[in-house]
């Protein structure tokens, strides 16, 4: 306990295959921090995949870092994700998103090696390849028209006989499919906690249950963060609070809003006698995705409901997802239902994340608004933020399109 009586939680993360029970466990054991005044060179606000990846990267560069999370590590959108690293399969509207996605997917594979050597944690990252199937020639053409110009994807065309040979569990009527061998997926909660645990092992402090966090700024820039139990001084603050990033920024006069887009998703499991019907690669179709996970489950997602912040799952959505999924993988009709859940994606007005330095407030950085791809973009976001803290500009890194000040510069009214 320190002077102001704040007892913080710090502790260890253990690996587990029970992905969603995991999300309700604290990574902490209660410990005490006794010093006259709290200080950290850098404070990260938010313990989702983005904040934890940044803590990992900064700690690996030997920087002093404290992450404050109002609830628990991986309790926000990162606990709801499917964990796909769909760099070749998502239709990105901006060329920087395409590049960021490729680079980040590859960087995540490098982080896997680093994290595994450091902690022994396996967060289920596999390069299993994704299949995008089509019902007909006309569906394929529609898809190609939509994708015009946006893809430099590493992909192969599979005609019907190839699909039937390579993916026996896929609907036999499938016209054909793109196969994207570099696509990967991971367990998102395990990944987030692995980042947090590795950061801790390299000296980062992770505090959970820190309430009423506010940014403290003056004319010279950032001074620290205020919390329910006391103030922590620092040189840099990184706002990585996902959907709530906009509220924190608004308190210091910056308008960088997020918009909620709820997603519902579910898990099934194939009984032993149905195992031959279980897909062994992700199906990334236009109407649904089906993701076989390393823990034996198969996840089916997801709905997209703009403006919704609640976490209910409707029977109608489960029915719709199961209907679409069992068209592509008919064997799903013989699988067991395990559970369903929902999360809220942090979208931005122009669909791009806010990653970078805030022009008006020295020492303040943003890393939020990753919408559908925060798991995928976590690794590259952490590298960029760490580079900027070491003095590189957005221009040097080539990420001005993600600058937090871009909307203001363009005169977008918010
Ligand atoms: P979060 O995970 O929400 O973390 C933000 C954290 O900040 C939270 O823990 C919150 O408690 C904390 N916080 C907020 N305010 C404060 C405050 N004032 N003080 C302290 N802490 C605060 N992405 C992919 O790449 N691949 C996928 O397959 C994928 N599938 C998805 C499926 C669904 C159904 C959904 C909903 C999302 C999916 N996403 C996917 C998107 C992905 O989940 C998000 O982009 C990502 O989790 C955002 O991470 P984050 O760290 O920014 O936010
Ligand atoms: N990236 C998948 C989703 O957001 O549903």
Mutate which of 49, 76, 77, 81 for ligand 2 pocket (most atoms within 8 A of beta carbon) = 81
Q: Are strands 364-368 and 230-239 parallel, antiparallel or unpaired?
A: parallel
pLDDT in tens, 379-396: 999 999 999 999 999 999
Identify the band that residue 268 occupies on the pLDDT scale cut at 50, 70 and 90.
very high
pLDDT of residue 12: 35
Tell me which DSSP letter residue 334 carries. G
Ligand 2: centre distance to CA 90 (Å): 9
Burial class of residue 181 (count of CB atoms within 10 Å of its CB; 0-12, 13-18, 19+):
middle
Does the structure show a pLDDT above 60 at 149? no
Tell me which DSSP letter residue 24 carries. T
Identify the band that residue 17 occupies on the pLDDT scale cut at 50, 70 and 90.
very low
- How far apart, in whole angstroms, are the C-alpha atoms of residue 261 and residue 349? 12
Does the structure show a pLDDT above 70 at 13? no
Mutate which of 44, 77, 85 for ligand 1 pocket (most atoms within 8 A of beta carbon) = 77
- DSSP H helix total and E strand total for the chain: 11, 21
If one compares 149 and 366, the residue with the highest pLDDT of the two is 366
Phi, psi for 34 (deg, rounded to 5): -110, 115
Identify the band that residue 414 occupies on the pLDDT scale cut at 50, 70 and 90.
low
pLDDT of residue 409: 76
If one compares 329 and 31, the residue with the highest pLDDT of the two is 329
Identify the band that residue 20 occupies on the pLDDT scale cut at 50, 70 and 90.
confident
- How far apart, in whole angstroms, are the C-alpha atoms of residue 65 and residue 70? 17
Lowest mean pLDDT segment, chosen from 33-42, 266-275, 369-378:
33-42
pLDDT of residue 2: 33
pLDDT of residue 146: 82
370 within ligand 2 shell (Cβ under 6 A): no
The mean pLDDT value for 332-341 works out to: 97
pLDDT in tens, 164-215: 999 999 999 999 999 999 999 999 999 999 999 999 999 999 999 999 999 9
Q: What is the largest CA-CA distance in the chain?
A: 71
Tell me which DSSP letter residue 276 carries. G
Q: Which two tokens stand for residue 183?
A: 């696509």
Ligand 2 atom 4: residue of nearest CA: 372
Does the structure show a pLDDT above 60 at 231? yes
pLDDT of residue 410: 73
- Indicate which ligand has the atom closest to the C-alpha of 291: 1
Ligand 2 atom 5: residue of nearest CA: 302
Ligand 2 atom 3: residue of nearest CA: 372
pLDDT of residue 408: 80
pLDDT of residue 359: 93
71 within ligand 1 shell (Cβ under 6 A): yes
Pick from 211, 220, 216, 219: nearest CA to 244: 211
The mean pLDDT value for 37-60 works out to: 96
What burial letters (b/e) apply to 24-57, b meaning 16+ CB within 10 Å?
ebbbbeeeeeeeeebebebbbbbbbbbbbbbbbb
Ligand 2 atom 1: residue of nearest CA: 372
Q: Which atom of ligand 2 is nearest to the CA of 84?
A: 1
Does the structure show a pLDDT above 80 at 413? no
Tell me which DSSP letter residue 242 carries. G
Beta strands in 146-288 (DSSP E): 156-159, 176-180, 184-185, 205-207, 214-218, 221-227, 230-239, 259-269, 282-284
- Indicate which ligand has the atom closest to the C-alpha of 345: 1
The mean pLDDT value for 219-236 works out to: 95
3-state secondary structure of 344: strand
Q: Which atom of ligand 1 is nearest to the CA of 68?
A: 20
- Indicate which ligand has the atom closest to the C-alpha of 47: 1
Quick one: the chain helix, strand, coil %, rounded to 5?
Answer: 35, 25, 40
Does the structure show a pLDDT above 50 at 8? no
pLDDT in tens, 288-300: 999 999 999 999 9
Ligand 1 atom 31: residue of nearest CA: 81
Does the structure show a pLDDT above 50 at 30? no
pLDDT in tens, 54-76: 999 999 999 999 999 999 999 99
Q: Which atom of ligand 2 is nearest to the CA of 86?
A: 1
pLDDT of residue 147: 77
48 within ligand 1 shell (Cβ under 6 A): yes
Count the residues in the chain: 414
Identify the band that residue 9 occupies on the pLDDT scale cut at 50, 70 and 90.
very low
- In order of start, what are the domains of the chain with their CATH numbers? 18-81+188-257+350-410 (3.50.50.60), 127-183+260-347 (3.30.9.10)
pLDDT of residue 337: 97
**Across the strands, what pairs with 207?**
68
pLDDT in tens, 67-109: 999 999 999 999 999 999 999 999 898 999 999 999 999 999 9
Does the structure show a pLDDT above 60 at 25? no
Q: Is the peptide bond before 302 cis (omega within 30 degrees of 0)?
A: yes
Q: What is the pTM of this model?
A: 0.94
Identify the band that residue 14 occupies on the pLDDT scale cut at 50, 70 and 90.
very low
């Amino acid at each position: 306990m320190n002077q102001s009586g704040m007892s913080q939680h710090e502790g260890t993360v253990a690996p587990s295959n029970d992905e969603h029970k995991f999300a309700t466990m604290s990574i902490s054991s209660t410990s005490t921090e006794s010093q006259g005044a709290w200080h950290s060179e850098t404070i990260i606000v938010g313990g989702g995949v983005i904040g934890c990846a940044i803590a990992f990267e900064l700690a690996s560069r030997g920087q002093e870092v404290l992450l404050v999370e109002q609830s628990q590590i991986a309790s926000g959108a990162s606990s709801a994700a499917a964990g796909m690293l769909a760099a070749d399969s998502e239709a990105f509207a901006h060329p920087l998103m395409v590049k960021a996605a490729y680079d980040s997917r590859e960087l995540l594979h490098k982080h896997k090696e680093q994290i595994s050597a450091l902690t022994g944690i396996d967060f289920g990252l596999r390069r299993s390849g994704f299949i995008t199937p089509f019902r007909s020639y006309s569906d394929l053409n529609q898809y190609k028209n939509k994708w015009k110009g946006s893809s430099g994807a590493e992909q192969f065309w599979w005609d019907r006989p190839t699909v039937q040979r390579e993916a026996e569990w896929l609907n036999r009527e499938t016209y054909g499919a793109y196969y994207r061998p570099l696509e990967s997926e991971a367990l998102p909660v395990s990944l987030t906690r692995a980042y947090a645990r590795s950061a801790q092992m390299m000296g980062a402090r992770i505090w959970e249950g820190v309430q009423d966090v506010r940014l403290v700024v003056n004319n010279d820039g950032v001074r620290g963060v205020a919390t329910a139990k006391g103030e922590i001084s620092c040189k840099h603050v990184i706002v990585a609070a996902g959907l709530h990033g906009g509220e924190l920024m608004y308190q210091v006069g910056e308008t960088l809003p997020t918009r909620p887009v709820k997603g519902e998703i579910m898990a099934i499991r194939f009984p032993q006698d149905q195992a031959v019907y279980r897909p062994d690669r992700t199906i990334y179709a236009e109407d649904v995705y089906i993701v076989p996970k390393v823990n034996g489950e198969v996840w089916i997602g997801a709905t997209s409901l703009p403006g919704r912040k609640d976490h209910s799952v409707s029977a109608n959505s489960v029915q719709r997802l199961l209907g679409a999924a069992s068209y592509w993988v008919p064997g799903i009709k013989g699988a067991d239902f395990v559970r369903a859940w929902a999360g809220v994606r942090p979208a931005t007005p122009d669909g791009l994340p806010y990653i970078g330095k805030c022009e008006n407030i020295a020492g303040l950085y943003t890393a939020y608004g990753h919408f559908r791809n925060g798991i995928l973009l976590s690794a590259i976001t952490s590298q960029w933020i760490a580079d900027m803290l070491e003095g590189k500009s957005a221009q040097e890194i080539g990420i001005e399109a993600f600058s937090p000040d871009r909307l203001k510069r363009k005169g977008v009214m918010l």
